[in-house]
C-alpha cells in the first residue's frame, strides 16, 4: 500500500507495509481519525521518520504512546511543539542532561533538533485517542515498531538505543547487542526518575560512543 513516509523508510519497510496486519492497522487508524479527536494530526503521524531518514539514524529513543492532550503530540516521543507547556518526563530528561553535561535547561520542549541530528524519537504506538492514554495499544502499532527496531538492528551497525522503563526494555529484545550500544534506565516519569533515570548519564555515554566511532556527538541542547 502507498504509505506517505520519507523515501528511505518507505524502501526499508516496503515488505512491512504489504502485510495483512498493517493493512488492518491502517483501516483502524483511518476510522479512528473519522470518529473523533486522535493525536497526532494525520500529517504528523510519521514525523519521527520524516525528520530522521533511515540512512541518517544514529540514536534511537523509545517512548510509549503519544501525548493525549490537545496540541501536545507531534509525532516525536517526549517532544512537544514550540510554545507548548513542557511535560514532566521531558523536564526530567532536561534535568539529567544538565546534571550529566552541564548544559542549561532549554525553554522549549520541541526536540526536532535531535531528530535532525539522527535521533529517531519513536513511540511504540503512533496514535492515541484524545484524553485516553494507551487507547490504541494492541491494534498493530507494536508489531510495526518492533519491525522498525529489528530493521535498524539488522541492517545498521553502531547505533545507540536508549531504553527507559520496563516497556522500552521489553521492546529492546530484538536488538543485536553485539553490534549496537544499548543503554537502559528507569523511565523519566516523575514516578520513577529517582529510581535510576537520574544519574544514568546516558547523554554523555551516547556521545562518547559516537565519538569513539569517529562520528559527531549529538548536540542535546541548542547551547551545546
| Active site amino acids | 65
Length of the chain: 224
Burial label, 86 (beta-carbon count in 10 A; 0-12, 13-18, 19+): middle
Alpha helices by DSSP H, 37-176 = 47-51, 88-101, 112-115, 141-155, 166-171
Q: What is the largest CA-CA distance in the chain?
A: 50
User: Cα dist. 38→43, 77, 79, 125, 133 in Å?
Assistant: 12, 16, 17, 12, 11
| Alpha carbons 137 and 196: distance in angstroms, whole number | 26
CA angle 170, 112, 139 (to 5 degrees): 40
Helix (H, G, I), strand (E, B) or coil at 163: strand
Helix (H, G, I), strand (E, B) or coil at 173: helix
Q: Is residue 36 within 8 Å of residue 99, measured between CB atoms?
A: no
| Alpha carbons 77 and 161: distance in angstroms, whole number | 14
Amino acid at each position: 500500500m502507498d504509505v506517505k513516509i520519507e523515501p528511505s523508510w518507505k524502501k526499508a519497510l516496503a515488505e512491512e507495509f504489504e502485510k495483512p496486519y498493517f493493512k488492518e492497522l491502517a483501516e483502524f487508524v483511518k476510522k479512528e481519525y473519522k470518529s473523533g479527536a486522535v493525536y497526532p494530526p494525520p500529517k504528523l503521524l510519521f514525523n519521527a521518520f520524516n525528520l530522521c531518514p533511515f540512512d541518517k539514524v544514529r540514536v534511537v529513543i523509545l517512548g510509549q504512546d503519544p501525548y493525549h492532550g490537545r496540541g501536545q503530540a507531534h509525532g516525536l516521543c517526549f517532544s512537544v511543539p514550540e510554545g507548548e507547556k513542557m511535560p514532566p518526563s521531558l523536564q526530567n530528561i532536561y534535568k539529567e542532561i544538565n546534571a550529566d553535561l552541564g548544559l542549561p535547561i532549554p525553554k522549549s520542549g520541541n526536540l526536532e533538533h535531535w531528530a535532525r541530528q539522527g535521533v529517531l524519537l519513536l513511540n511504540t504506538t503512533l496514535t492515541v485517542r484524545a484524553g485516553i492514554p494507551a487507547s490504541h495499544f494492541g491494534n498493530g502499532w507494536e508489531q510495526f515498531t518492533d519491525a522498525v527496531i529489528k530493521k535498524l538492528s539488522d541492517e545498521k551497525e553502531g547505533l545507540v538505543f536508549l531504553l527507559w522503563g520496563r516497556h522500552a526494555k521489553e521492546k529492546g529484545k530484538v536488538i543485536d547487542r553485539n553490534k549496537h550500544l544499548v543503554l537502559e534506565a528507569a523511565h523519566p516519569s516523575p514516578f520513577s526518575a529517582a529510581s535510576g533515570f537520574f544519574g544514568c548519564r546516558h547523554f554523555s555515554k551516547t556521545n562518547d560512543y559516537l565519538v569513539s566511532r569517529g562520528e559527531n556527538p549529538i548536540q542535546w541542547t541548542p547551547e551545546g
